[in-house]
Amino acid sequence: MTQISASDIVLLGEHHDHPVHHEVQSRVVDDWVARGRRPAVLFEMLRTDQQPAIDAVLASPSPSSDAFRAAVGWDESGWPDFALYAPVFEAALRHRLPIVAAQMPRDQSQALVRNGIDAFARDVPELAPVLGAPVPEAAAAALIDRMRSGHCGRLPESMLPRMAEVQRGWEAWMAHEIAAAVETDDVDGAIVIIGRGHTQRPLGLPFALAQLAPARSVLSVGLLEVPEPEVGPPSAALLALAAGHDLVFVAIEIERPDPCERIPEHRPKTAGEAPPAG
Ligand code: HEM
């Protein structure tokens, strides 16, 4: 915990549906405060356009997590059950810490998906230092692989480059919000609640923050899961998951429906196949 609370910015890269990961995040928040720090707590799950609603709850005399949940329309958001995130929101509310939305508004996200990263960099010039920064070829290829494997090889190859661009655009936006939050008066550092897909060097938020907040120290913590406890030297699978993080916390995998089932299988057209009706 000492290492975690000594950084300017700590990224806590979760499996969104793992209750133990959220418990760890809430303890990190408590620990920073116990050490006399007052960080902003930023969430990938909240969009910048929701900030006024968030601030209204924070300004109320006794903000509750239920009021928060309603104000941000959590139940309609598509993120996992609010009960999973309640411990970390409650920790932030208990200590009266700023809660900051990190993700871009939906219309920006849609424009990024539609027009790609170059057009997005022209529309949002403050992100140019990240979006224009050269990405090492191997890292770019690894990101495409990640998009492929993270979606179970079910999405068409032709979609992957644009998906990688979208991922980089989201990360640039979030890094911009984090960099702004740590410069705010009365804020001492940032704790970032985010998916594990955004925390691994050499890309992800560490790359984006290196362009937008180069003077700030960033600690990337991977909240991981393994099928069963490992005794002795870590397995190759665990080492691969841990790669690119400064520190990892490992929990036992939870039971969940196969996420691949949520992604429709892409069937490439074969010669002679009839086009879809309509
Ligand atoms: C805009 C482009 C997209 C981006 C940037 C994106 C990004 C991501 C990332 C970073 C992950 C985590 C993977 C990992 O841990 O390595 C993920 C998971 C996932 N994505 Fe996407 N995605 C995109 C489009 C899609 C589409 C089109 C679908 C469905 C048709 C989809 C369905 C899923 C599902 C089901 C998961 C697994 C979630 C889980 O593990 O519970 N994504 N996506």
Distance of CA 204 to the CA centre of its chain: 9
Query: How many domains does the chain contain in total?
Result: 1
Supply the range of the domain harboring residue 114: 2-262
pLDDT at 278: 33
Cα gap 198→206, rounded to integer Å: 8
Say if 244 falls within a structural domain. yes
Cα gap 11→199, rounded to integer Å: 7
Distance from residue 163's CA to the centre of ligand 1 (Å): 9
pLDDT at 277: 36
From the list 47, 11, 259, 22, the residue with the least C-alpha distance to 170 is 47
Say if 90 falls within a structural domain. yes
Ligand 1 site, residue 159, Cβ cutoff 6 A: no
Say if 65 falls within a structural domain. yes
pLDDT at 142: 95
pLDDT at 146: 94
Say if 267 falls within a structural domain. no
Distance from residue 143's CA to the centre of ligand 1 (Å): 13
Two tokens at 268? Answer: 């490439």
Say if 58 falls within a structural domain. yes
Say if 184 falls within a structural domain. yes
**Protein residue whose Cα sits closest to atom 19 of ligand 1:** 151
pLDDT at 3: 80
Cα gap 4→46, rounded to integer Å: 23
Ligand 1 site, residue 167, Cβ cutoff 6 A: yes
Say if 219 falls within a structural domain. yes
Say if 152 falls within a structural domain. yes
Cα gap 64→55, rounded to integer Å: 13
Ligand 1 site, residue 148, Cβ cutoff 6 A: no
Q: Say which CATH number the domain at 219 has.
A: 3.40.50.11550
Ligand 1, residues 106, 151, 200, 265: which to mutate, most atoms within 8 A of Cβ? Answer: 151
Angle of helix 204-212 relative to helix 160-182, nearest 10 degrees, comes to 50
Ligand 1 site, residue 114, Cβ cutoff 6 A: no
Residues belonging to the chain = 278
Among the atoms of ligand 1, which is closest to the Cα of residue 167?
A: 5
Ligand 1 site, residue 208, Cβ cutoff 6 A: no
pLDDT tens track, the chain, 278 positions: 778 889 999 999 999 999 999 999 999 999 999 999 999 999 999 999 999 999 999 999 999 999 999 999 999 999 999 999 999 999 999 999 999 999 999 999 999 999 999 999 999 999 999 999 999 999 999 999 999 999 999 999 999 999 999 999 999 999 999 999 999 999 999 999 999 999 999 999 999 999 999 999 999 999 999 999 988 899 999 999 999 999 999 999 999 999 999 998 877 655 444 433 33
Distances (CA, A) of 252 to 48, 141, 225: 33, 30, 5
